[in-house]
Every structure is written in structure tokens, then in C-alpha cells.
Chains A and B, each alone.
Chain A
Amino acid sequence: MGNTLIVGRGLKKFFEIKTGLFSRKRLNVKAVDGVDITINKGEVVGLVGESGCGKTTLGRLILRLIEPTDGELYYNPSEEILEKIKNGEKISQDELKKYSIFHMGKNDVRELRRHMQIVFQDPYSSLDPRYLIKDIIAEPLRSFGWDSKDAYSRVEELLKSVGLGPEFMNKFPHELSGGQRQRVAIARALALKPEFVVLDEPTSALDVSVQAQVLNLLDDLRKELDLTMLFISHHILVVRHIADRIMVMYLGKIVEIAETKEIFKNPLHPYTQALLSAVPVPDPKTKRMKIHLEGEVPSPVNPPKGCSFHTRCKFAFEKCGWTANELVEYLRLVMDPTRNEELKGNILDEIEIVSDTELIMRFKELENPGNIRGVIDKEKINNNIRAFYGIMGIEASGKEVKIKLYEPKVPELKNVGNNHFVACFLH
């Protein structure tokens, strides 16, 4: 038996959405967009990233609670399969049917539920309001054939292990507080003695004072039951104490993976650095703590080209994947002769986007083509207009100025030593 419990390769999940009420056009939300994941036995992996970056979707994908768009996922793979994955060998259809969760039959997937469980983000919607607590916790037991008597005595045990007394057996979820509900959800997830549990922000919906208690409970249970966990959180400090390794996710992709100590000591990806320096602030709407980074999260329907973080990255440079449409507004602004005297006599007419890497500025009058490059460089430095780093060349001919950009490339996750992986052109 190997040491690897879960291996996912090329995981993708796109949600199809309709654009308008009457429109037939469909768009894809790229919630998870090509993720590789490996989780070892007994390990706790933290998955962090801002709201909407696809953490929950990835968690649900690993349990096949939603149907994947692409990718393969193996639970407890044999040495042979691991070897094939490592060497990039082709895995036959028969082997896929037998070992990949995404190719298995319905009954085999159901059988795996004994071993893989999940605690959901929102304890207010994850418990059926019409069920008594004892029946909620007994449900996984019943569905795998336990009789009522055995199931209920196991439920009592489970309640005790999550710190709730037997008096909770005959209550309805609405009689419980958020923290108590989440304990019930944890008890349900542990009922079948699973090997692997996904914890989807188990504390983010709870009051701050209760969060620590639930985290400690999970830490204790993990040690006691020797659990392997994927611990999801939008806040990196939450997973600091429980996680052995941390994966940082941005817009459906993993941008950095390293051991917890390493990532706190030596965060390499600019996004990770931003997450670490962000101070959580209370969100007045939900009364919970939220981290807030500068800039807006781009839409996962149409993520930025190249490195998808380049729209917000403080270090973004030439190669980071700038596209023509990102330059247009800035060019209009700086080509104004009242802003930059050097350009006196130039009257900009229109800007045409030819392709992602090329655009043309057409002038009504163009008396000073030679100064354009200088103005762009000056503005880039003085006003930190990072989009201008994307400019590869400027050519003037007649009353037209052609601007060429670097070809956008996506940074790959690279091992920089110490099992520290990062997807950024700086490293």
C-alpha cells in the first residue's frame, strides 16, 4: 500500500450559464480550470483563496458530488497506477473504470462514500429542517445498512465525541446554534469512520468566539481518528495550525503549493503575499471577518489571459499576459496633449483592437510621433500603469501608430525546491 490517498489530474469544472432571459447564448463559468492535486495519507492540506475562486467546487468534484467537465481522480491508487501517472503513460479505459472516481459506476461511487466525507460551508442549510438530529447523524449509517438500534447508539457516541450531550438526539436543527449545528454536521461526516474528509470552510459561517472551539475540535478529532483532510478556507491564517501543506487557489487554478511553515516563511507568489498581508476586517453585512485585497476579482467567465492574476499583481511585467483591450483606456488618457505637452499637435481619432497582441491608434493629426514612446515610458514609471509593460514595440507610419504586445503565456506550476511549487514568471 502506497502513501498517496488522492491524486487528481487536470480537474476541470465549467458551469454553463444562460446570459439573458431570452438569449440562447451559453457562457462557461470556469470554476475549476485544470487543477492537479495530490493528498497523502494522514495529511491535512489547506486550500485557500478568495471567495468565488472555486474552492467549494474543487471539494465537491473530489467527492464527485458534481459531474466533472474533465480530468481524472484516483482514490487510494495502486503503485502501478501512480507510476503510470508519474510517467505520463496512458491509462487504459478498463483501468479508468476501475480506479478513477470520475469513470466508476454509480454503485462504486456510493461505496466510496464510506471512506470520503464532507462538512459543508453553511451549517444552516446542510441539515434537513424536518429531521431530528439523531436521524440526521444516523442517515449515512442507515444508508449502509445499520439497524436503528445500533445506529442510535453510535449516534450517541458521535455526539459525545463532538462535544454534544445525548439530549440533542431529539431536537430539530432550528433549536441549535450555528456552532452546535456544525458539530452535528461533523458528527454526520464521521459516522462511517471515513479515511478522508473535505472540510469546506467549516467555521466561516460561525461567530468568531465559536470558530476557535470548532477548529480545536477538528484538530483533536484529526489526531484521534488519524484523518486525512482537505481543509478549505478563504483565510490563510485559519489553516495555519491545522494544515501540513497549503495550496493557494486563484480563479480556478492553483498558484502555489508548499508546506505550511515554508509558505509562511517564504511566500513566493504575489497573490500569496497579498493574502498573507491582508488583515481580516469585519463585514458589516454578515458580521463575519473578511479579507479584502486591492482590485476586483475578475469574472471566472472570462478570466484574464496569461497569468490570471496580472490585473491585480504589483509585480506584473512584460510576460504576464497583457492584452490589447487592457491598454485602450490608458492610451486614450495619456495621448491627450493637455496632459502631456510633448504630444502637442497630435489629435487622436480612434483606437482599433486588431487582436489580443496588436492595436492601432489612428490620429487626425500626427505631428509628434517620435515622442509617443517616451510619454508611454514616463507614464508607466511615474503613474505605475503596469499595463504598459505589455508593450513589445511601437511603429508609426503615416497617421497610424501600431502597438504590438507580447504573446500571453500561462505560467506553469514549477518546483522551486523544497517541494515548493509556484506558478509565476518571477520564479
Chain B
Amino acid sequence: MFDKMSDSWKPRIENFKITMKILLKSPASAIGLIIVLVYFIIALLDQVDPYILGITTNVNTLIPNYVNTAPQPPSWLTNPWDFSLPFGTTYPGINLYDGIIKAIRIDIAFSLFVVVSGAIIGIVLGVFSAFYGGWFDEIIMRLTDIFFSIPYLVLVIALGVFLGRSLEILSIGLIILWWPIYARVVRGQALSIKEQTYVEAARASGVKNSRIIFRHILPNTMAPIFVQFSFDLATIVLALATLYFIGFAPSNSWLPELGFLSSIGYEYAIVGDWWTIVFPGFALMIFALGMNLLGDGLRDALDPRLRR
């Protein structure tokens, strides 16, 4: 019996290997994959045990040091072997290494939450929309039209003004805005998959609609979803950073967040303390770059025309 199990996994593993092979063939997507892996590992380690990363405080806030608030340059600038402050500090005495590592975890978690929730809502609505058509489809599509026409910053700010500026409200605002793209992508795919003969063959085999939708149509629409997903993980991190940067942050916060750190650093960077913006800024940029390179690579690797 055990043998049988491993037998049916073999071809699936084979398939995964092919995906990886195509993905790694392009240096750009290989770099993207490595960047993304590094960020996720950092976030994971910080979650599991921050001491591994040399972080001694286990709290979800930035820790100011009011004794010495002025930004201090990275320690290795004065002594090449001193890594006690690898990224220096920013106002008010915040250890940037500490802050950035925590911020990476928080940003990724926030982004994952928003994108996964949006994707699930969008995928389910999109696939039902395509399968059943009619008035349901019509309503969903008009809704997506409406959401597409609202600039996300405007809606999030409006929500913040009326409902209060907390991280929860921010995430709800972004989810409301992010499901329509998934509904559209899945619907488009599902409309063509639904006409495939294998769907008709399933019906001829007596398979019920729910199983046809979730076991035949949905899995075959997933490739462009993965691509969209990786782009959006970056976009949401950037969106959150933008909101913090323009000062529309949840009001109470010393939350570790890359946009917030950059916005603090901004004032000091223009008077010469470059590290206050370069390190958080680069951490943000490289993450977005990595996600986008990976997304592009996935688009090729999952394209059925390029797989044999």
C-alpha cells in the first residue's frame, strides 16, 4: 500500500521538477526566487525564534532609545570588524537592524493576509461566476468594474477617515480592493476551461457540479493566479509602505514597518545620515524586485505551451 502511495507521488514530483527547471533556467527568475526565499526565511526565523537572528527583544514594536535619539552610523564604518550596529540607528535611537528584520516579518505577514484573503474571495466568486453565468455573473462583473475604477489610496484613506486608522481596517480596505482582480483572472480562465472536453467528459461520468468546479475547473485556472499572487505580495507591501510614508499610518503605532522606517529616516537622510533611508528603502525595494522577478519567471514556467 505504501508503495502505491509513493508511486502516485512520483509523477507529481516529476512535474514540480520540470517547473523548477524552467524557472531556474532564466538567471533573473533564479535571482528572484533566491531573494524571495531569503526574505521568507528571515520572516520565519523572526517568528519562530528572533534570538537566532541576534534580536534580543521579542516584542512587536520598535524600541526607541531616548538617551541617545540622534541617528548613529553603522558601526562597521568606524571599525570594520564591529557589527554591533550593522545598519546604524534612526531617530529616536531605534536599532535599524532590529527594526528592519521585524518589519520584514510584519510586512510579509500583512501582505500575505491581504492577498490570500482577497484571492480566496476572488477565486470562489470568479469560478462560480464563470460556471453559472447569468445574473450572478453580471452582478459580480459590474462589482469588479466599480472597484477597478476607484484608486486604492482614495478608498483606503476614506475608510480610514470614517472607520479609524487601524491596521485591521487598512487590511479590510485592501482586501475589498484586491479580490476583483482574482475574480476577473479566474473567471477568464474558467470560461475557457469550462468548454474543454474533459469537463464534459466529467459530466458524462456522472460527476456532480461542485466537484467539476473544484476538482476540474479550479485547478486548471491556477497558473495565472500564482503569477498574480507573487506580483500582489509585492504590491501590497509597497501600498502599506506608501500609506505609512505619506503619514496615513495607524495613529498609535511604533509598528515595525519598512515604509514607516523610511519615512522617519527621510528627514535625517537629507541632512547627511544616508543610512536612515538607504537600509529600510533597499529592504523594501529588493523585496518588491524579487517578487516581481519570481512572478515573471512563474509566468513562463507555468505556461503550458512552454512545458514540452
Contact = CB atoms under 8 A, between A and B. Distances in A.
Interface of A: 60, 63, 65, 110, 113-114, 117-118, 120-122, 125-130, 132, 134, 139-140, 143-144, 152, 169-172, 174-175, 185, 188, 191-192
Nearest to B199: A128
Nearest to A175: B11
A113 B11 contact: no
Interface residues of B, number: 24
Interface string B163-193: 0000000000000000000000000000000
A192 B207 CA distance: 13
Contacts, number: 70
A169 B216 CA distance: 19
Nearest to B195: A125
A170 B198 contact: no
Contacts of A192: 206
A130 B217 CA distance: 10
Contact of B206 (A114, A128, A134): A114
B205 interface: yes
Given A110-B206, A125-B197, A143-B205, 8 more contacts: A60-B200, A122-B197, A126-B198, A129-B198, A132-B8, A140-B207, A143-B211, A169-B8
B84 interface: no
A125 B15 CA distance: 19
Contact of A188 (B201, B208, B219): B201
Nearest to B198: A128
Nearest to B307: A174
Contact of A170 (B10, B15, B207): B10
Contacts of B211: 143
Contacts of B206: 110, 113-114, 140, 143-144, 192
Given A128-B216, A139-B205, A174 B308 contact: yes
Given A171-B11, A172-B11, A143 B208 contact: yes
A117 B202 contact: no
A134 B8 contact: yes
25 contacts: A65-B204, A110-B206, A113-B205, A121-B197, A125-B197, A127-B201, A128-B198, A128-B216, A128-B220, A129-B198, A129-B304, A130-B219, A134-B8, A139-B202, A139-B205, A143-B208, A143-B211, A152-B4, A170-B7, A170-B10, A170-B11, A172-B15, A175-B11, A185-B201, A191-B205
B7 to A, nearest CB: 5
B17 interface: no
Given A110-B206, A128-B220, A65 B200 contact: yes
A126 B201 CA distance: 6
A145 to B, nearest CB: 10
A188 B15 contact: no
A134 B11 CA distance: 12
A127 B197 CA distance: 8
B11 A125 contact: no
Q: Most chain-B CB neighbours within 10 Å: which of A60, A120, A139, A192? A: A139
B61 interface: no
Nearest to B6: A170
A120 B197 CA distance: 8
